[in-house]
Amino acid sequence: MIYDTLINRIGQLLLPAEGPLKGEDMKQLVVLEDAAIAIKDGKVAWIGQNEKAAQMEARQVIDAMGRVVSPGLVDPHTHLVFGGSREGELAMKQAGVPYLEILKQGGGILSTVKATRATSEEGLLKKAKFFLNRMASHGVTTLEAKSGYGLDRETELKQLRVVSRLKEEGALDIVSTFLGPHALPPEYKDRPDEFLSEMIGMLDDVVRDDLASCADIFCETGVFTVEQSRRFMKACLELGLDVKIHADEIDSLGGTELAVEMGAISADHLVAASDEGIQALADSSTIAVLLPGTTFYLGKDEYAKARAMIDSGAAVSLATDFNPGSCVTENLQMIMSLAGLKLKMTPEEIWNAVTVNAACAIGKGEDAGRLEVGKDADLVLWDVPNYSYIPYHYGVNHANLVMKRGEKIWERGDAHVFSVPQS
Ligand SMILES: [Zn+2]
């Protein structure tokens, strides 16, 4: 057999196990040293020791020079499509104005809603494509993207159509999530139940036109209650959508428990999750998607209790939460560093969290987040000497080469690589 691509002399090839990985299992990361991987027709065709690759034939041979190869990263929580930007809020943040207060004053998310409504579909597409390419350049090959900056039928559908077009036109796999109930629009001030009915009324269109496979709601003080969230999630489940929830980010309302009760595919944020909520997660198949970049960016000191979650047996994942207000970064590697520093996760737990568990958190456990013969060859060659190096050396891009289904989708322009021992 002549392979399309052979990557040889890999120092460490990361092979996360089948997921979701819960609790203790998150500490296990299979690492094949001095390895090679062969690709044919966009799929992983062979994985083994480098010495066995010497006789193999391939149209293209990539010398990894002792560096690390991992599955393509999966970002399971992003707000990719939006209009405008909010750099003007920095001064308010510096003055210590709390987020819910900025929201009350019509700032925060509502200014993004205004800008997103005012931007054309083409304009949103162009902008999202730019961000998406930047994500790919940082090693992401699969992600989730939410609507939620329209808060009206027309704009929510416009955002979802943009995600559909990105799926069709781009290389990356994107899971689309309908997040109509992301905030209360000014037109429905003090009428959350009516707004929720309006959003539930949209679900038929969303499902009919295959615009999303997941639905999400922001359950928080001043936004939607646990009871309202339950009502929305039930309606979504009845139509066959997977459900997710922005839960217990600021106040401990019981959104985590609700996620488990509803069989949500993931519960996200969870900074204020109660001990009962954490135990419920551990006993469930719902994945905790933690967003330490948001806590960091909001200037808070209290981070989600990742250690308690993992130690009690829950499956934990990590995401950027890329959005124009509370976490403005496409760099999932930066989140890996924050997970090490602020969530006290080990490098093994972090890698499982951004690959296999992240894929499971968006219903892609079968297709993404792992390297296995027969699966899509989505992978990253990193300019690092070992996998612990990425959480350690923070804030920069370590990706050298990113492949989606065996095709290069991003490559570092210069050939200068991190100095590593040669095998
Ligand atoms: Zn979010």
Digit-coded pLDDT (tens) for 38-59:
999 999 999 999 999 999 999 9
Distance 182 CA to ligand 1 centre (A): 9
For residue 415, how far is its CA from the centre of ligand 1 (angstroms)? 36
Task: Provide the pLDDT for residue 101.
Answer: 82
Quick one: average pLDDT of 150-156?
Answer: 97
* CA atoms within a 13 Å half-sphere pointing along the CA-CB vector of 207: 15
If pLDDT is split at 50, 70 and 90, which confidence band does 382 have?
very high
Of 250, 324, 239, 317, the closest CA to residue 285 belongs to 317
Distance between Cα 147 and ligand 1 center (Å): 10
- Give the list of residues 6+ apart from residue 25 with CB closer than 8 angstroms, or none: 17
Selected residue with higher pLDDT from 286 and 300: 286
Ligand 1 centroid, distance to 120 Cα (angstroms): 23
How far does residue 169's CA lie from ligand 1's centre (Å)?
A: 24
User: Averaged over 55-80, what is the pLDDT?
Assistant: 96
End-to-end CA distance of the chain: 26
Please write the tens of the pLDDT for every residue from 165-210.
999 998 899 999 999 999 999 899 899 999 999 999 999 999 999 9
Whole-angstrom CA distances from 212 to 123, 157, 257, 263, 372 are 21, 10, 24, 18, 28
Query: How many angstroms separate the alpha carbon of residue 358 from the centre of ligand 1?
Result: 15
- Residue 382's identity, in one-letter code, is W
Overall average pLDDT of the 269-286 stretch: 96
Pair 257, 279: CB distance under 8 Å: no
Dist. CA 123 → ligand 1 center (Å): 22
Alpha carbon of 210 to ligand 1 centroid (Å): 22
Q: How far is the CA of 269 from the centre of ligand 1 (A)?
A: 8
Distance 208 CA to ligand 1 centre (A): 25
**Residues, beta carbon < 5 Å, ion ligand 1:** 321
Interval between CA 371 and ligand 1 midpoint (Å) = 28
Cis peptide before 20 (omega within 30 of 0): yes
- C-alpha distances in angstroms, 190 versus 110, 185, 385? 15, 10, 55
What's the confidence (pLDDT) of residue 417?
Answer: 55
Distance of CA 257 from the midpoint of ligand 1 (Å): 18
Residue 250 pLDDT > 90:
no
What does the mean pLDDT of the chain come to? 95
Sorting pLDDT into bands at 50, 70 and 90, what band is 93?
confident
- pLDDT exceeds cutoff 50 at 423: no
- Going from the Cα of 146 to the center of ligand 1, the distance in angstroms, rounded, reads 8
Query: Could you tell me the distance, in angstroms and rounded to a whole number, from the CA of residue 158 to the centre of ligand 1?
Result: 19
Residue-level pLDDT at 107: 77
What pLDDT does residue 215 have? 98
Which residues in 167-188 are b (16+ Cβ under 10 Å) and which e? eeebbbbbbbbbbbbbbbbeeb
- 301-328 average pLDDT score: 97
Query: Does 105 score more than 90 pLDDT?
Result: no
DSSP for 14-69, written as a single string: EEPPSS---GGGGG--EEEEEEEEEEETTEEEEEEEHHHHTT-EEEEEEE-TT-EE
Q: Residue 422 pLDDT > 50, yes or no? A: no
Q: How far is the CA of 376 from the centre of ligand 1 (A)?
A: 28
Whether 266 has a pLDDT exceeding 50, the answer reads yes
Q: In which band, very low, low, confident or very high, does the pLDDT at 418 lie, cut at 50, 70 and 90?
A: low
Residue type, 391: P
R_g of the chain computed on alpha carbons = 21
pLDDT of residue 370: 98
Q: According to the model, what pLDDT value does residue 416 have?
A: 52
For residues 8-32, average pLDDT: 97
* pLDDT over 90 (residue 148): yes
